Amino acid sequence: MVFLNNKLLTYTIARGVNGVMAFATIVIFTRLLGQEGYGEYALLMSFVGFVSAFFFQWIAVSCGRFLPGSDKTPIIYSSTKIVSAQSVVIVLVLAVIFVVADFGSLVQVLTISTAGVAMGLFAITTQIENSAGRASSYAAATVLRSTLTFIGCTVALLFYDDSVYIIFAIVSMVAISLFALFYKKGNWGGELSLSEKLERDSCVTAMRKYGIPVAFSTFCMLIIDYSDKWLISHWYGVKGLGAYAAAYDLSQLTMGTVANVFSLVFFPAIVAAYSVRNEEKVALLG
């Protein structure tokens, strides 16, 4: 329990720092972008969040299910690489289809798909660090992302007038850079033996069976979460959305933070206990 308390403290500090960075970001963005610019940013971010969550969140959830307490970490890492690469390809193919079908401008589609992939890969990164019990690495990754993004975007907004797309470029670069850093640091790319490669095929199948239903459940939740912004943008334009989104984003900082911290700490511990059929510990943690 001391170990869990230490993790709880680490995650609480990390979430606190991220909350401060998020609050500062809202203050800066609303002032330098203006109401209409912030509305455009919020609208694009809703689509980015949709791509990230629908195509990559199920992989992160699968990592959270299979990594804690596992003695086959290299196999799970390799399986995660495969399904992640497949999701990236699907997003890129859909992006091409959207451009050809004229569902959006090239810049818009490129922004949404690139940032969605970047944030999705970063979400998988942090989930792996959390599921592997590396609380300090998780905290470092999230704090670095929020801090670097805030600094980079603030500088961009001070020097460029039309900088909504520059924001997403910086967000993408920071997320991809941290993904690459932790990929190398965690040795996710280790070679597998022939027998391990055979096991990997089964692991990939298991991740799909567990995760893909989650993707469709996530789809329904995303429609609920983002439909308000889409409807407000449709009815009142991005300027009207800007006023709503600023208040909504600010309220998000005070809602769910505590629940998120407890989820980060206890979910991997519960899964690890469940994996070894330690029902007493599962009941205690649950």
Q: pLDDT, tens digit, for every residue of 238-258?
A: 999 998 998 888 777 665 555
pLDDT at 33: 86
Asked if the model's pLDDT at residue 274 lies above 90, the reply is no
Q: Helix/strand/coil (H, E, C) string of 171-189?
A: HHHHHHHHHHHHHHHCCCC
pTM (predicted TM-score)? 0.83
pLDDT at 3: 45
Q: Give the model's confidence band at 90: pLDDT under 50 very low, under 70 low, under 90 confident, else very high.
A: very high
Q: Which of 19, 40, 38 is nearest to 30 (CA)?
A: 38
Measured between alpha carbons, how far is 248 from 259 in angstroms, rounded to an integer?
18
- Of the listed ranges 66-75, 129-138, 212-221, the least confidently predicted one is 66-75
Of the chain, the percentage scoring pLDDT greater than 90 comes to 15
pLDDT at 52: 92
Asked if the model's pLDDT at residue 94 lies above 90, the reply is yes
Measured between alpha carbons, how far is 178 from 148 in angstroms, rounded to an integer?
10
Q: pLDDT, tens digit, for every residue of 166-207?
A: 788 888 888 888 887 777 765 565 666 667 777 888 888 888
